[in-house]
């Protein structure tokens, strides 16, 4: 009996060994298959990511080239940016893009990225944005004194809320005193805490307060070459009671004594290399007539003294635009009448002393409204054209295929 059992043990052991080998072999094959599938999945995923990055790169480059085209005036959309199978640096992926459309109907970018067998496509529409998107922007600070109000008009039904904002994240950079009302949003710098940056204990904000996701760009202003190259006509002074300007020009400055008036009667662009000073009751008037408008490029500062005025008789802010160059550091208005105009002076401290109302927009380094008055943002200033200063294309909406 024992001999019979002993004779069967070697065969039994062989079967067990073979079974173990089979199990190990099956496990090994399974692991190899899993590893191969994982590697294939990883390669495919990496290719898809690279293809998407290439598509993004194509869109970004197309947008950059569109904004570069804006610098060459007048605008010409007969030859829009495009590329075919352009290599993405440090990668095996390539991208192609086209820009289609026109200035009236809008532009669309279509970008495709390819890596290996993977392909990703992105399309987006573009919007032309000018410098007057927010109602008030103080790059460093905004201060509205007791009883001030910020409101807006000329809005389309689908437009965003009025915005008052700063790029600053410093405590109290937005200071809204007692009784201030902002009928819109108040926004602060990237990563900032609105509760710390906005001092509005006794103010009312009807919209939201939040931190921007990207800094609001404040590019410097450049004087048009044709205007900068003109010879200066000297300083506009008060040799007569009223001076009428009907054509564009370059001047050293404006210095009007009490009660004197400059009248602008035509489509006029002025480059003032020095200061603009309007003493008591002096005025810079823009005539209310079709085609009449004034654009000022200021290298120096502006001071409008008591009862003086920058008087836009058309009461249309789009007909008076003031651009401050980097050397323009101060704009002080003590207007004796309502102010209608748009101010873009990213390196200047802009101060409104007037208790009269303001209509338009202010973009400055620091903005202060000292007296209780209403600031009314004209939303039509958002309607930018390719001839505007600091204009750029931005992505309006996009989709991925």
Q: So where are the chain's domains?
A: 1-130+393-401, 136-382
pLDDT digits (tens, 9 = 90+) for 120-179: 999 999 999 999 999 999 999 999 999 899 999 998 877 788 999 999 999 999 999 999
32/37 Cα distance (integer angstroms)? 8
Cβ neighbours of residue 126 closer than 8 Å, sequence gap 6 or more: 63, 66, 106, 107, 108, 109, 393, 394, 395, 396
251/296 Cα distance (integer angstroms)? 11
Q: What's the confidence (pLDDT) of residue 1? A: 47
**For residues 62, 63, 66 and 67, what is the CA-based torsion angle, rounded to 10 degrees?**
-140
Q: What's the confidence (pLDDT) of residue 251? A: 95
Mean pLDDT of the chain: 89
Mean pLDDT by 10 residues, the chain (401 residues): 51 73 71 60 74 93 94 87 92 93 93 92 93 96 93 86 95 95 97 96 96 93 94 82 87 91 95 94 93 97 89 96 97 87 97 86 95 90 91 88 75
Quick one: tokens of 118? 């993977």
Quick one: tokens of 228? 């900068």
Cβ neighbours of residue 134 closer than 8 Å, sequence gap 6 or more: 162, 163, 164, 165, 187, 216, 361, 363
Nearest to 313 by CA among 342, 334, 283, 277: 283
Q: What's the confidence (pLDDT) of residue 373? A: 84
pTM for the full model? 0.84
Q: 12 φ, ψ to 5°?
A: -65, -40
């Amino acid at each position: 009996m024992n001999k019979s059992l002993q004779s069967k043990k070697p065969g039994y052991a062989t079967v067990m060994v073979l079974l173990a080998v089979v199990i190990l072999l099956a496990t090994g094959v399974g692991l190899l298959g899993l590893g191969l599938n994982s590697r294939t999945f990883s390669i495919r995923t990496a290719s898809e990511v690279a293809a998407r990055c290439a598509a993004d790169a194509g869109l970004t480059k197309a947008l950059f080239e569109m904004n570069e085209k804006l610098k060459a005036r007048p605008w010409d959309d007969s030859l829009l940016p495009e590329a075919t199978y352009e290599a993405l640096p440090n990668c095996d992926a390539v991208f192609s893009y086209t820009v289609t459309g026109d200035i009236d109907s809008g532009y669309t970018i279509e970008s495709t990225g390819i890596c290996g067998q993977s392909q990703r496509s992105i399309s987006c529409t573009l919007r032309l944005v000018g410098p007057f998107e927010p109602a008030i922007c103080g790059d460093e600070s905004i201060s509205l004194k007791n009883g001030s109000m910020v409101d807006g008009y000329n809005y389309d039904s689908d437009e965003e809320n009025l915005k008052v904002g700063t790029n600053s994240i410093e405590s109290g950079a937005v200071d809204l005193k007692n009784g201030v009302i902002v009928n819109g949003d108040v926004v602060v710098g990237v990563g900032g805490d609105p509760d710390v940056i906005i001092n509005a204990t006794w103010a009312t904000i009807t919209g939201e307060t939040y931190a921007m996701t990207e800094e609001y760009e404040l590019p410097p202003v450049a004087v048009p070459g044709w205007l900068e190259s003109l010879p200066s006509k000297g300083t506009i002074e008060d040799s007569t009671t009223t001076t009428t300007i009907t054509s564009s020009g370059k001047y050293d400055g404006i210095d009007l004594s009490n009660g004197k008036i400059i009248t602008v009667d035509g489509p006029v662009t002025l480059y003032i290399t020095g200061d603009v000073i309007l003493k008591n009751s002096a005025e810079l008037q823009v005539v209310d007539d079709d085609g009449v408008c004034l654009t000022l490029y200021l290298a120096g500062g502006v001071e409008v003294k008591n009862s003086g005025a920058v008087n836009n008789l058309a009461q249309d802010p789009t007909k008076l635009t003031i651009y401050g160059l980097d050397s323009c550091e101060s704009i002080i208005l003590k207007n004796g009448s309502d102010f209608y105009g748009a101010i873009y002076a990213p390196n200047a401290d802009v101060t409104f002393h007037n208790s009269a109302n303001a209509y338009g927009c202010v973009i400055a380094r620091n903005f202060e409204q000292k007296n209780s008055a209403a600031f009314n943002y004209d939303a039509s200033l958002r309607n930018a054209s390719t001839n505007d200063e600091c204009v750029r294309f931005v992505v309006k909406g996009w989709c991925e295929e």
